[in-house]
Amino acid sequence: MANIHNMTFLKEKIDTLKEEGLYKELVTLEGPNESECIINGKKVINLSSNNYLGFANHPRLKQAAIDAINLYGAGAGAVRPIVGNMKIHDELEQILARFKREEAVLVFQSGFNCNAGTIQAVTEEGDLIISDELNHASIIDGARLSKAKKTTFKHSDMDDLERILKENKDKYKKMLIITDGVFSMDGDIAKLPEIVELAEKYKAMTYVDDAHASGVLGENGRGTVDHFDLHGRVDFTIGTLSKAIGVVGGYVAGKKVTIEWLINRGRPFLFSTALPPAVVGACIEAIKMLMESSEYTDRLWENATYFKKNIKDCGFDIGQSQTPITPIIIGDESKTKDFSKKLFEKGVFVSPIVFPTVPKGTGRVRCMITAGHSKDQLDKAVDIISQVGKEMKVI
Ligand code: PMP
């Protein structure tokens, strides 16, 4: 028998990834994640970050983290249901519930964990999960952990969603419609008002993952539900503390009874150690900053609108983007990677996104615009992108 301990079975899989152009290597930042950062000793304009509001290295968040460490220590010491639940965790949930205008909130260690824990806990055998085909991997994995049946509807296609609801309305105990609030690869916004209407018509529950809408859409970044004024009509709203909020963590907002159930049955909540105080303190400060002023979200949208207009005027195809996520569609996978490489050489870091993350032939570089970018940085980035676009005959 072959020696399994030398891991040739993994080496072979890695070789296949390389042959298919799907192999990933890590990029290392030599400092904080800001609008400009240092990679391989080179200063580049950073158009790849989810640090939408520039909070990741904000002095107020850093000070709040230090204060929390001084008050509560470096670690929580246990899972929350045993003895890891500190006053600071309760405070974060209270302020998030006020911010989201929901009855209650439960915080998980990440957005991924939150989806993994919540979907399986609120569905069971005899239920049907109906998921937009472009939903995030953590929703797919969360649904896989559930004993419910699963199906997908075509991306944002309300006719397809209604067909599924109509066909299945009497076959299941409950139906749960799940959608991203903002789709991470295209930057389009879910048709939430239509989804909610269909859900009400066919008596299904609704679940929105606002990872890319938290801190971005709605009044002062309250999310998609607020953006469409659908308060009280969405059953589960997921948010992340890892992107616009600038730190790490995830949460579910909803009815008190939902949170009570998840405290008892949300597996990552039950079995994984609580977030450390520094993280929680910094998140509280970030939410306070959002509640105090729209300064950060206003600047984000001003920058995004400015950049998108200039990129479009150059003749690039930015697809259906309605948010600061700005994909520049290149098409061919290897051309997309070359495009990104050339941008880096000229001083702009923007990740290539190719199959299987997006459909074959729709490779793109995904520009993430933040409140932290200066007009100068955005102008310089547009100049370089346009130069490379002309060189590579994309425009
Ligand atoms: N949901 C969506 C839609 C996301 O884009 C992400 C982040 N990639 C997550 C969940 C996971 O969030 P986190 O990074 O906090 O685990």
Predicted ipTM > 0.85: yes
Active-site residue set: 184, 212, 243
The total number of structural domains in the chain stands at 2
Are residues 208 and 257 both part of a single domain?
A: yes
Is the C-alpha dihedral spanning 222, 253, 210, 227 positive or negative?
negative
Concatenated DSSP letters of 253-312: EE-HHHHHHHHHH-HHHHHSPPPPHHHHHHHHHHHHHHHH-SHHHHHHHHHHHHHHHHHH
CA distance to 95, 106, 255, 260, 343, per residue, from 103 (Å) = 11, 11, 5, 11, 46
Residue where one domain finishes, among candidates 269, 292, 315: 292
* Residue 8 covered by a domain: no
Are residues 304 and 283 both part of a single domain?
A: no
Q: What's the 241 CA to ligand 1 centre distance in angstroms? A: 9
Query: Which numbered atom of ligand 1 lies nearest the CA of 241?
Result: 15
CA distance to 293, 328, 348, per residue, from 377 (Å) = 24, 18, 10
Q: Which of 119, 243, 279, 357 best tests ligand 1's pocket when mutated (most atoms within 8 Å of CB)?
A: 243
Are residues 233 and 369 both part of a single domain?
A: no
Sheet-wide strand order for 348-349: 36-39, 42-46, 348-349
* Residue 7 covered by a domain: no
Query: Which numbered atom of ligand 1 lies nearest the CA of 113?
Result: 16
Q: What's the 24 CA to ligand 1 centre distance in angstroms? A: 19
Query: Which numbered atom of ligand 1 lies nearest the CA of 115?
Result: 10
Give the model's pLDDT for residue 1: 61
Q: Which of 52, 55, 240 best tests ligand 1's pocket when mutated (most atoms within 8 Å of CB)?
A: 240
Give the model's pLDDT for residue 117: 97
Are residues 147 and 257 both part of a single domain?
A: yes
Give the model's pLDDT for residue 355: 86
Give the model's pLDDT for residue 290: 98
Residue where one domain finishes, among candidates 231, 260, 292: 292
Give the model's pLDDT for residue 63: 98
CATH number at residue 332: 3.90.1150.10
* Residue 256 covered by a domain: yes
Task: For the chain, 395 residues long, give each residue's pLDDT as a single digit of tens.
Answer: 668 889 999 999 999 988 887 888 899 999 999 999 999 999 999 999 999 999 999 999 999 999 999 999 999 999 999 999 999 999 999 999 999 999 999 999 999 999 999 999 999 999 999 999 999 999 999 999 999 999 999 999 999 999 999 999 999 999 999 999 999 999 999 999 999 999 999 999 999 999 999 999 999 999 999 999 999 999 999 999 999 999 999 999 999 999 999 999 999 999 999 999 999 999 999 999 999 999 999 999 999 999 999 999 999 999 999 999 999 999 998 899 999 999 999 999 999 999 888 888 999 999 999 999 999 999 999 999 999 999 999 99
Decide: pTM greater than 0.90: yes
* Residue 5 covered by a domain: no
Give the model's pLDDT for residue 235: 98
Q: Residue with the nearest Cα to atom 12 of ligand 1? A: 111
Residue where one domain finishes, among candidates 244, 264, 292: 292
Are residues 342 and 364 both part of a single domain?
A: yes
With a Cβ cut-off of 6 Å, ligand 1 is lined by: 110-112, 115, 136, 138, 180, 184, 209, 211-212, 240, 242, 250
Q: Supply the range of the domain harboring residue 285.
A: 59-292
Are residues 172 and 269 both part of a single domain?
A: yes
Are residues 42 and 151 both part of a single domain?
A: no
CATH number at residue 192: 3.40.640.10
Are residues 208 and 74 both part of a single domain?
A: yes
